[in-house]
């Protein structure tokens, strides 16, 4: 679809269309070729491993910084979110789960005190969130999600950034493996 087609379809000026396309391209979700058009980028099994290795490094670093200084009030908010996530998983409402899950993690990561780090993590989440929706149909992924949040809460209560880092990194690599297996099947 041409840029002008998007302008007409959405009924907006070229500026927001160009900004959206730039953001999608910077997130490597589309590839824009001048005078040829735009195509959606594929995300294959090898991309999962790389993306999740980057996420594990970024999120591990963020949680390691944040957890030692987390407040009791924030832990109470996280506990409510974790309970809500369990209910959403039990109900099969994966779209709502992903929304609360993102808030849960970002609530912790914001405590690292680095807007740039959180922005990098959010950008990574944006690139693969659709795939997470699909993978949640696998029982193994549901088990990972249910266990990780309760364990993360315990690490927060203990103010143990090292343990929290290990939990996040291990769970991310398990999900990456599940995604690779799903993509190959």
Q: Is 11 helix (H, G, I), strand (E, B) or coil?
A: coil
- Hey, CA dihedral for 120, 55, 79, 98, is it positive or negative? positive
- Let me know whether 34 and 121 are in one domain: no
Number of domains in the chain: 2
- Let me know whether 143 and 112 are in one domain: yes
- Let me know whether 80 and 154 are in one domain: yes
**How buried is 53 (Cβ within 10 angstroms: 0-12 exposed, 13-18 middle, 19+ buried)?**
middle
Mind listing the pLDDT tens digit for each residue in 8-44?
888 888 888 888 878 777 766 677 777 777 777 666 6
DSSP string, 105-172: HHHHHGGG--HHHHHHHHHHHHHHHHHHHHHTTSHHHHHHHHHHHHHHHHHHHTT-HHHHHHHHHHHH
Q: How confident is the model at residue 3 (pLDDT cuts 50, 70, 90)?
A: confident
What residues make up the domain containing 8? Answer: 3-40
- Let me know whether 124 and 80 are in one domain: yes
- Let me know whether 32 and 92 are in one domain: no
Q: How confident is the model at residue 65 (pLDDT cuts 50, 70, 90)?
A: very high
pTM: 0.78
- Let me know whether 108 and 165 are in one domain: yes
Whichever domain contains 26, its CATH number is: 1.10.10.10
């Amino acid at each position: 679809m041409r840029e002008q087609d998007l302008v007409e379809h959405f009924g907006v000026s070229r500026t927001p269309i160009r900004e959206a396309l730039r953001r999608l391209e910077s997130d490597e979700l589309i590839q824009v070729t001048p005078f040829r058009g735009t195509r959606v980028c594929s995300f294959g099994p090898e991309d999962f491993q790389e993306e999740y290795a980057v996420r594990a490094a970024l999120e591990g670093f963020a949680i390691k910084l944040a957890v030692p200084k987390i407040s009791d009030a924030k832990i109470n908010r996280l506990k409510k979110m974790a309970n809500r996530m369990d209910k959403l998983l039990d109900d099969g409402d994966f779209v709502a789960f992903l929304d609360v899950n993102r808030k849960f993690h970002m609530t912790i990561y914001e405590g690292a005190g680095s807007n740039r780090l959180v922005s990098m993590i959010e950008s990574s989440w944006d690139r693969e969130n659709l795939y997470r929706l699909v993978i949640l149909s696998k029982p193994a992924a549901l088990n990972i999600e249910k266990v990780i949040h309760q364990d993360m809460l315990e690490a927060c209560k203990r103010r143990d950034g090292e343990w929290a880092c290990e939990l996040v990194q291990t769970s991310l690599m398990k999900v990456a493996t599940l995604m690779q297996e799903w993509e190959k099947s």
